[in-house]
Amino acid sequence: MNGLSERHRTLGELMTELRARLGFMTQGSAAQGNEATIKSFLQEAHDYVYGELEPPVLRKKATIALEAGAYLYDWHNDAEAEDIDPGNVLSVWVKASDTIRDPLRQGVTEYDRAFESLRGQPEKYDTLNGQIELWPVPDQAYELVIEYIAGKSRFEQAGDRPSVPDRLVFLYALANAKAHYRHPDAQASATSFQNMLAKAKSKQKENRRFFAAGDARPGESQVVRTANGGYTLRS
C-alpha cells in the first residue's frame, strides 16, 4: 500500500456508510443479511472505476528473506499480502551488506543449472514453475529486494483499501444499490458519480503532453494541455 492509497477508506468503512445510506443500519442484526450484497456492490464499483481511470503507477519494493541452500521462492510481497507479476518486475537486487546492493541479471541457463552444487551470492534470477529461481544457490542468508509495478489491489477483506479514489467507488456502488432496491433518488446518485468521474478523468490529463505527429525530438514544439482545459505549444 502506498501513501496515496492509504488515504482511501477501507472496504469495511465503505460498507458501513453504504448500509447507512441505504437505510439498513436501523434494521439492527437483520442488516447483516445484506452484507454479501453490499460488499458485491463495492467490489463491482472498484473494478469499474479502476477500468475507467488510467490505472495509477504503483511502484513498490518487496523484500524476501533468502535461506542458505534454497533457490526457489514465491513471487509474493508478504508485507502487503499480494502476488508479484514477474512481467511487471523492474529490477531485482541482493543485499550484499547493509550499504551494498548488487543487481541480479535475468536469465538462468541450462549451463548454469548444470552447476547445481555451486553455492554463493546469487547473480542471476529467472522464473521457474511460477517461482523465483536464483543462481547460484545462496550460500547464506541474504535479503532479496524486488522493485515492481503493482496491479489493482486486493479488495476483499474489511481492511483492504481501493486502488482508486474511495469516493468514486462509493458513489458508483450507491447508485447501483439504490437502483437495485428501487430507491427513487437512484438517478441523482448516478449523476453525482458521472460528474465526479468526469472531473477525475480531466485531472488525469492536465499538463500531459500530446505529440502533434510522431515522436517529439529535442527542440521540437509539443502540444501541451493546460490546467484550464486549453492547449498551447511548448518547446
Q: What is the tens place of the pLDDT at every residue in 13-22?
A: 999 999 999 9
Owner of C-alpha cell 536464483: 134
Cβ atoms of 165 and 8 closer than 8 Å = yes
* Secondary structure of residue 10 in the 3-state scheme: coil
User: Is the confidence at residue 220, as pLDDT, over 50?
Assistant: no
Cβ atoms of 160 and 153 closer than 8 Å = yes
For residue 134, the model assigns a pLDDT of 98
For residue 206, the model assigns a pLDDT of 62
User: Is the confidence at residue 158, as pLDDT, over 90?
Assistant: yes
For residue 31, the model assigns a pLDDT of 55
